[in-house]
Chain A
Amino acid sequence: MKNNNGAVIRRLTGRSLQSNKKRNFFIITAIALTTLLIASVFSIGMSLMESMKMQETRLMGTVAHAAITQPTASQMEQLNQLNYVKAAGTGNNVAFVKTTPQMGDMNLSLHYFDKTEWEKLRAPAFTDIAGSYPQKENEIMVPLWVLERLGIENPSIGMEIPLSYYTENGNNGALVNEVFNLSGWFTSYMYIRSGNIDSILVSEELSQEYGKTAEANGSASVLFDNSSRVLEYCEQLKLDLGLSETQKVKIVPAFDVDPGDMRTTLIALSTVIAFLIFTGYLLIYNVLYISVSRDVRFYGLLKTLGTTPKQIKRVVIGQIVRLCIIGIPIGAAVAFLLSFVAVPLFLSNLGSIATGTVVSFSPLIYLGAALFALFTALLGAFKPAKKAASISPIEAQKFTGIKINKSRVYSSVNGKPYKMAFRNIFRDRKRAAIVLLSLFLGITTFITITTLITSMDTDNYVASYLESDFMLQNNTVMVGYPEQKFTSAFMDTIKSLPGFESLRVTTLEWMRLDYSPDEFGEYVDDYIKRNNAEGLTEQNIYDNFTGIIAGIDREALTELNKTMDKPIDIDAFERGEFALIATNTPNLFENVDELTIFPMVCTSESGMQERPGSEPIKVPVGGFVPQSFGKICRSFAPNVFVSNTLMNAVYGEPIVLKLHIDVAQGYEEQALDTLKQITDEVYEVSRQSKLEAQEELRASKIMLYILGGGVALILALIGILNFVNVMSVGIVVRKQELATLECVGMSRKQVRRMLVSEGLGYAVITLFFVFTAGNAITFGIFKLFQQQATYAIFTYPFIPVLMASLAVLAICIITPENAYCSIYKSTIVERLREAE
């Protein structure tokens, strides 16, 4: 049975805390800063993940995992009873809206969702939902962006909106003109992905009026109970529901997240957290260690009186735990408040979130941060506690608070203050090492972060990923409803841009490759392995071996040729003598000498089909380009690149995917203005321009500067706190020694000079390491960074470094000065006596 002596240990713990207010301040600050930093890192990570996930669902316009086309009523009933189905709803198309010139380019339908579909599956993917789902026949609910196009800036419930619509597709059926009442609106994000395709929601009544049902015109959406087993469940569905030939199970395409990318992020995150823990640990450890060394008499006395080593450990650890109870909530609270500001800023500057960011306030963030901070604190307290516990009562009796390094014989100091100062710095080498390390880490981090940010050369960055001054892209293509947006008339407009210099065209069409296991076997195996698409029969593969064929200009290859070991014969390519396969693993295609290409066509109505009236062509394989070439998404068959000449020959008028436009220097702004006029209203066309990208990047660079600088500053602050603590404690402990020095005739001025030299010594040593090892580290990290961001150019941040150095010098001088002044208030005699 444990001894019942906890109360006195708790009291000793409490009193120790009370009598060490200054030290507590340092430790609480360290704990709070550590918590703050860790919580911030977690918060950014979690928010980023949540924002990405949310973006995914918002762009899909549904939270469902899969859809079943034309479900029957009995199938729905079955569906609702399957234990792996969390929710299932139906929806169907009711009519097609006739677009007016005012509405511009868009593709709207009237759509009906049942209750489950709307409430459980659709509404969560929308935001700013106002009003309610249409109940009456003449009620509608409209996406906000559509309302804007209709010229309605301030919608109100019940307002009248006239619409014309066809009851059947393809301008078939009757054209109906009707005035609807607005029952609600919402922000939808689907159109960003789909290229202005969206739906206006109508009531069940209207749907029934035109005899539209889910079975005939719609589909059922299904939400499974486990998002990681969607593929498996889809197969299961087919069996469980007994789907007919024509019914299909479509998986809602979710954006692929490269697991390798996740791993890098995870490693980066753990490194950052390990680093934060380490810096926090250094400070807490040092502050506690100094405090324990100062209190050697106290702990030795406790031991003499019968406090066991275990009890002493409990006293030290108990103190740190109590300080954690104060420090962690402070850090967490500041992190919480900060996350309102810093996290959205950070996320929006990461640039990948288009549908609005969410700030995560998951308790996991704060729990995690608290745990890590507690871990840091305990880690920092462990050794000092052990030291306190192992203090021998005899040593404590003799202890004067001054450790003298016996192993070294110094040369005479001749009473020179700076020589004594130097000796003082290394009197306790371990302590000196920790302070120097802490200061060094703080300042080096600061310099590294500043270097990385200043090195992000915007011009270079833009040039590295934008090949031309302007790039226009037809978004309908990638969504799967291709439409020729860049007509020859449009091209003419481009060519008449002010200062127009050159235009490059990328065309894109669909094709099926003639599959044979001998040729493509290796590739297909690899594909199946990567995509977990088991269970395909040879016939399946043959039928579905479709992909993208893209036409490019010679200029596109010129740039690429520079990086290739085996340059491509551009002239022959231009003549259409061979095709290029896009892959990162050319050896998978060792057996492919010639491609047999069946031209295909892809429409929104019937999907992919053989192109009517075209013959397959045979083209030899002339080489390989990287997978990411041309930034075109991939399908089952590998992407094939041919010259535009060949494309025109095979496909007649192939769809133009991208336009790369260059203008003469100095005309960029003018050209941009014109392009804005042409494209701003056209949602299916997206625009990238070097000018805009640079602007954007500059803004986000400033933000990164503030955020990164903030983190660096906090770390530097931890280092400086450590120094301030060591220096001021060191002087207070040496009170008596200093008084003795004065007694033997050292003038106050000399004492002061000695102390200031001591501080200066720390500064000089730290800066020496910062400018040698620190700069080497900075450069090394920059090199690593450059591998990720090739556009970075090493730029040394002279001004921030100068300022940081001056700040360190200033603090190293002011701290001893201050500490000395504070003990100077008493006379020599008093100080001598006080030492008892």
Chain B
Amino acid sequence: MALAVTIIIAVAICFLTVLFSYRYVRKTFDSIDQVLDSVLAKNTDLPLEATADNRLSKLTHKAVKIIQMNTMDISQTRQEKEIIQSFISDMSHQMKTPLSGIAMYTDLLLEGRITEAERQEFLSRVKMGTEKLQWMMDSLVKMSRLEVGAIELSPVSTGIKQTISDSISTVYGAAAKKNISIQTAYFEDVSLLHDRKWTSEAITNILENAIKYSSANREINISLETLPIYTKISITDYGIGIAPDEWNSIFKRFYRGRNAKGVDGAGLGLYLASLIFHKQDGYILVDSKPGKYTTFSMFLQNCKK
């Protein structure tokens, strides 16, 4: 009798366990199915709780993530397209000024009713214009390739000293013209993760900028400091300076500083420099006191030992 009751109870318990397990598993599958449906429909408004301390909620949360990643990828592609479009429109706009200058002088030259002195003057202006166009073309080509990722920078671990001296020798002539001396504080050579050709170009841009906005007979200081993660290359000039509210803008494409009106420039040098550093996981910061000094600090990652 007792045995029979025990068996009946045992069977009943087994049956109930199986029944409830089955129902539980079925429910769970239904929920997973629901989540997957939402993923397919790219619907982030999931019917299930994504903020509970259980596994189903975790699953829901991850599904939402997947959907978001997907949408983000799409919007990223769209953004890139927009960058190229704005780039093209910017470029055509920037080219208009030198081109129209060249066109005007060429017209004047063709009309022929000018003195020899005027002819010389116009020709040299046309030359300047074409040089500027040439330089812009070069920069734009570089930029466009960098920006859309047509060329990849290949940062390798090499000494920075050579890179810096490459840049200095490039701008040496320009500096000498304004009687500006470039002082480099002594530093031990360090290996930094960078692409020498492009980095040198970026530093050159900063140096050119410094020379451009410095008054004659001043100094430009270069120093180097190693931090735990980055090494900082600072270039300080004692020129017109940049107001703090402009700090955020100067690295923008075609941006010309308010104080830079009288100075030649296309607003591409700093942009290109910052782009090059970003592409190498580095960055540029500016610090300045208008009328006193401007310091550009460039950060490059140290090599891991």
Contacts and interface: CB of A to CB of B under 8 A. Distances in A.
Interface string A1-31: 1111100000000000000000000000000
B56 A1 contact: yes
From A1, A2, A4, A310, residue with most partner B Cβ within 10 Å: A1
Interface string B26-58: 001000000000000000000000000111111
A308 B54 CA distance: 12
Interface residues of A, number: 8
B48 to A, nearest CB: 13
B53 A1 contact: no
Interface in B7-32: 28
A3 B55 CA distance: 5
A310 B52 CA distance: 11
B55 A4 contact: yes
A310 B57 CA distance: 16
A310 B55 contact: no
A310 B53 contact: yes
A308 B53 contact: yes
B21 to A, nearest CB: 12
Nearest to B53: A3
Nearest to A5: B53
B42 to A, nearest CB: 27
A308 B57 CA distance: 14
B227 to A, nearest CB: 23
Nearest to B52: A3
Interface in A304-355: 308, 310-311
A21 to B, nearest CB: 31
A308 B53 CA distance: 8
A694 B56 CA distance: 78
B117 to A, nearest CB: 75
A121 to B, nearest CB: 32
Contacts of A3: 53-55, 57-58
A2 B56 CA distance: 9
Interface string B47-71: 0000001111110000000000000
From B28, B53, B54, residue with most partner A Cβ within 10 Å: B53
Nearest to B57: A3
Contact of B55 (A1, A308, A311): A1
Contacts of B58: 3
B32 to A, nearest CB: 12
Nearest to A2: B54
A3 B49 CA distance: 14
A308 B55 CA distance: 15
B79 to A, nearest CB: 31
Contacts of A2: 53-55
A310 B53 CA distance: 10
Interface in B275-303: none
Contacts of A310: 53
Interface string A247-262: 0000000000000000
A686 B61 CA distance: 88
Nearest to A1: B55
Contacts of B54: 1-3
A42 B54 CA distance: 44
B305 to A, nearest CB: 31
Nearest to A310: B53
A4 B54 CA distance: 8
Contacts of A1: 28, 54-56
A2 B54 CA distance: 5
A303 to B, nearest CB: 13
B174 to A, nearest CB: 50
A308 B51 CA distance: 11
A307 to B, nearest CB: 10
From A3, A4, A5, A308, residue with most partner B Cβ within 10 Å: A3
Nearest to B28: A1
B238 to A, nearest CB: 39
Contacts of A4: 55
Nearest to A311: B53
A1 B29 CA distance: 13
Nearest to B58: A3
A311 B57 CA distance: 17
A3 B56 CA distance: 9
Interface in B99-113: none
A1 to B, nearest CB: 5
B27 to A, nearest CB: 11
Nearest to A308: B53
B124 to A, nearest CB: 67
A465 to B, nearest CB: 57
Contacts of B28: 1
Interface in B218-254: none
Contacts of B53: 2-3, 5, 308, 310-311
A817 B230 CA distance: 50
A2 to B, nearest CB: 6
B4 to A, nearest CB: 23
A3 B58 CA distance: 8
Contacts of A308: 53
A12 to B, nearest CB: 15
A311 B53 CA distance: 10
Nearest to B55: A1
B282 to A, nearest CB: 30
A425 B135 CA distance: 78
A396 B56 CA distance: 31
A102 B173 CA distance: 141
Nearest to B54: A3
Contacts of A5: 53
Given A2-B55, A4-B55, 5 more contacts: A1-B28, A1-B54, A3-B53, A3-B54, A3-B57
9 contacts: A1-B28, A1-B54, A1-B56, A2-B53, A2-B54, A3-B54, A3-B55, A5-B53, A311-B53
Interface of A: 1-5, 308, 310-311
Give 5 closest A-B pairs by Cβ, nearest first: A1-B55, A3-B53, A3-B54, A308-B53, A1-B54
